[in-house]
Amino acid sequence: MTDTVTLIRGEDLGSLPYSPPLYHSLKAISHLPLGVYSASIGRLEHPTDPRWIERLKTLLRQIDLTEADLTKASFTEAQKVRQQNILSLSRAHLDDILKRENIDSASVTRYARTLAPLLLANAADAANVQIDALDQAVRELSKKLKPGEFEKAIAVITGPKTPRDGNLQFQYFVYAFGPDSAGARVLYMESIYDREAALGVLRTVLNDRIASQAFFGETYRLERDLMADGATVELMRRFGKLGN
């Protein structure tokens, strides 16, 4: 699941999108300073490369276009002021480095540190609206479950590796299912985006848990390398960690 939550119980019982427009607006503007920083580093490392200069000019044009569209987004007044600050600070930084033949790392770092609290504020607001929408979608789809089924449900979250730690959807279901559900009823599948592929991995996980219980009396033993225990003992022996 990324922008859509799907309920499956043998068959597809329905899907609901849960990322509202405000989430995308906050995220889009927050990505712009990251692009400015990346292009600034490129110019810093390759000051005579025209490609980085053109990239910086393109970002400057994007700021102008974004600023013109601010009124179209459903920002609160405080959020609108914050977006304007992000764009104004980014424009000032770009104007400064484009008029200089050489730039220094201190000015790039200063820009990044100045923008950091604004980006984190945007991220917090984006998280709030997405969690609210996700919660509503889950509650709506849960109405199709029989009594007691939600308490046994498994949530599969798919996505790339880099944002896995602290993933919003993963956290939501851990809070919804309980603190012991992480890795048990809430699974994060890296670099899988196709639903059928995710379901295939889930079937493997569930089959392994049944076999693990049958062989070892431990549900999750096959979710660790079968050689793990023997390898740990041998490596501790080999590197003198077993003691006398």
- 28-69 residue pLDDT tens: 999 999 999 999 999 999 988 899 999 999 999 999 999 999
Same domain, 101 and 203: no
The answer, yes or no, to whether residue 83 has pLDDT greater than 90, is yes
For residue 163, the model assigns a pLDDT of 67
Same domain, 112 and 203: no
Same domain, 110 and 169: no
Residue 198 structure tokens: 């995710």
Residue 218 structure tokens: 């431990």
Q: Quick: pLDDT tens for 188-208.
A: 988 888 888 988 999 999 999
- Percent of the chain beyond pLDDT 70? 97
The answer, yes or no, to whether residue 2 has pLDDT greater than 80, is no
Same domain, 52 and 14: no
Same domain, 31 and 127: yes
Q: Are 18 and 134 in contact (CB under 8 A)?
A: yes
For residue 34, the model assigns a pLDDT of 96
Last-in-domain residue among 132, 155, 180: 132
Question: How many other C-beta atoms are found inside a 10 Å radius of the C-beta of residue 72?
Answer: 9
Distance CA 194, CA 165 (A): 21
Mean pLDDT score of the chain, rounded to an integer? Answer: 91
Closest CA to 134 of 163, 167, 165, 108: 167
Distance CA 85, CA 198 (A): 41
Same domain, 44 and 96: yes
- The amino acid present at 82, given as its one-letter code, is R
Q: Is residue 243 part of a domain?
A: no
- The amino acid present at 217, given as its one-letter code, is G
Q: How far apart are the first and last CA of the chain?
A: 51
Same domain, 146 and 183: yes
Distance CA 128, CA 27 (A): 12
Residue 220 structure tokens: 């999750």
Distance CA 48, CA 171 (A): 45
Closest CA to 132 of 100, 168, 102: 168
Last-in-domain residue among 105, 132, 159: 132
Closest CA to 85 of 70, 100, 107, 73: 70
Q: Please compute the mean of the pLDDT values over residues 175-188 and round it to a whole number.
A: 92
Q: Is residue 152 part of a domain?
A: yes
Token pair 């609290």 is found at 117
Same domain, 163 and 114: no
Task: Give the three-class secondary structure for 147.
Answer: coil
Same domain, 74 and 120: yes
Q: Is 15 left (phi over 0), alpha (psi -120 to 50) or beta?
A: beta
- Percent of the chain beyond pLDDT 90? 72
Domain count, the chain: 2
- What's the residue count for the chain? 244
Same domain, 15 and 25: no
Handedness of CA 124, 129, 132, 135 (dihedral sign): negative
- What's the pLDDT band for 9 if we cut at 50, 70, 90? confident
For residue 221, the model assigns a pLDDT of 92
Q: Is residue 38 part of a domain?
A: yes
Q: Quick: pLDDT tens for 146-168.
A: 999 999 999 999 888 776 778 99
Which range of residues forms the domain containing residue 56? 21-132
Distance CA 98, CA 94 (A): 6
Last-in-domain residue among 132, 159, 192: 132
Same domain, 151 and 200: yes
Same domain, 90 and 144: no
